[in-house]
Amino acid sequence: MNKSELTALIKEEAYRLGFAHCGISKADYLEEDAPHLEQWLKKGMHGTMGYMERNFDKRLDPRKLVHGAKSVISLLYNYYPAEKQNPGIPKISKYAYGRDYHFVIKEKLFLLFNFIREKAGNVSGRVFTDSAPVLDRAWAKKSGLGWIGKNANLIHPKAGSFFFIAELILDLELDTDAPVKDYCGSCTRCMDACPTEAIVQPHVVDGSKCISYFTIELRDSIPQSFKNKFENWMFGCDICQDVCPWNRFAKPIDTDELKPIKEIMTMTSDDWEEITEEVFKNIFKESPLSRAGFEGMKRNLQFIKPKKD
């Protein structure tokens, strides 16, 4: 089997496993991204996310993660939900409606990796889904799966941006894909819509001002200067994606693997205020909400709660 035949088989299997898009790039140093990442960190735009400062070289060179790496397979997994939360309910980012994506995608990545080994023999590599120092959007862009929008999200020209990104880094040479053009043009809807002005310039998001950062990553108190700017977002934020014109092409998922947790769609502010830690852990034990934890979710709810007259 030649390289092109193997590449085609790998992509076919990726689609069979449920990935929406698959692209391949050469495992090389991300020279264009290095100065941008360095400046972003120097300006403190990672906030309290100290882990972003670690493993700088590994984030830019996959060969430091997998010895002899030759290819990076980038994969997109759709999470755009068929149903949305009812108006008035504390908002939760769409990616967190269902079961934690790490559980869902990791299993598929290992199945794909085993398939590659069956077809290509002794292949070494690693699988990643937001679980290691990998610049996933940069690799997805390099592999032709879209461009980086002004909101710093990867945008696929035919499907928008509501995707999880995953990778396989392998010591296997495969056919590579070409990057696509940036089609944001003069549009600034995402920048104009951000209530905390976190998108400080096109393609640059100050993470320390982002609602998702405050409601998921931050362990301290949320600064009062951002009070009344969250627009009822309790966990994460989809504003910059919801206003993006390219997401008119987003298609709802047709699988039960990320089926929304019933309580996320129906719980009211009062229900959230009355929930106990035991109930929270029972309902959301395999949910992304567990990352913020019970106390973090209660803090977020109190922060977005309007003052009573």
Helix axes 101-120, 3-16, angle to 10 degrees: 150
130 is catalytic: yes
Task: Locate 99 and state its tokens.
Answer: 């079961």
DSSP output for 210-274: -HHIIIII--SPPPGGGTT-STTEEE---HHHHT-GGGGG------STTPPPHHHHH--HHHHHH
290 touches 103 (CB < 8 A): no
Nearest Cα residue to 152 out of 73, 207, 196? 207
Which helix (H) or strand (E) element contains residue 137?
A: helix 136-142
The residue annotated as part of the active site, out of 28, 57, 61, 130, is: 130
265 touches 212 (CB < 8 A): no
Task: Kindly provide the b/e burial profile for residues 61-97, where b requires at least 16 CB atoms within 10 angstroms of the residue's own CB.
Answer: bbbebbeebbbbbbbbbbbbbeeebeeebbbbbbbbb
- pLDDT tens, the chain, 309 aa long: 799 999 999 999 999 999 999 999 999 999 999 999 999 999 999 988 888 888 888 899 999 999 999 999 999 999 999 998 988 899 999 999 999 998 899 999 999 999 999 999 999 999 998 877 899 999 999 999 999 999 999 999 999 999 999 999 999 999 999 999 999 999 999 999 999 999 999 999 999 999 999 999 999 999 999 999 999 999 999 999 999 999 999 999 988 889 899 999 988 889 999 999 999 999 999 999 999 999 999 999 999 987 654
